[in-house]
Amino acid sequence: MNEIVTYAWWVFAFRWFHILSGVMWIGLLWYFNFVQAPTVPKIPMELRPAIGKFILPEALFWFRWGAMSTIVTGLILAYMNGYLLDAIKLGIGDHSPNITAIGFGMWLGTIMWFNVWFIIWPNQKKVMGVTPASDDEKKAAARIASLTSRINTMFSIPMLYCMASASHGVF
């Protein structure tokens, strides 16, 4: 009995860490798209360097590690709950709409995680001057990072819907 209680505690702990990580990640994603992006053009030019030098590096640190923590804890949680492989195959053959929903949510989250680490972050490093780039390359990198971030914002809505509906038996 004690092993079952311990296992249940760890499942709950990973669920809690997954939720906290997701709030960090998606909260910053929405901050970038709904607060920072529309506000920066209103900031006087002489004050804008502070954003790139102080705010953006710190926010991007928590953003990308929030994404990493979310995917790692989510995969561990799916494994611990016994549905990891079924969710990866979108519940095909299982006749379980909840597994299909969580699977779609996991795939959307995985695409978003990939976008953060392999598209947004490398391009933001150019914008911030961490990676050497010409002015034209910085401009192109800013556009790619911005568009990819907007895609992630749009993906976050069905991803969150799938995750919440699957865990609350809506399907």
Model confidence pLDDT, tens digit, residues 8-33: 999 999 999 999 999 999 999 999 99
Residue 170, pLDDT score: 63
What is the residue type of 115? N
Cα angle at 61 between 49 and 145, to 5 degrees? 65
Q: Is the pTM of this model over 0.95?
A: no
Quick: pLDDT tens for 104-125: 999 999 999 999 999 999 999 9
CA atoms of 126 and 115, how far apart (whole Å): 16
Q: Which domain holds residue 143?
A: 2-167
Distances (CA, A) of 125 to 38, 43, 72, 95, 151: 21, 22, 24, 44, 19
Give the residues of the chain that fall short of pLDDT 70: 1, 169-171
Q: Which of 101, 81, 66 is nearest to 13 (CA)?
A: 81
What share of the chain in percent tops pLDDT 90?
Answer: 91
The total domain count for the chain is: 1
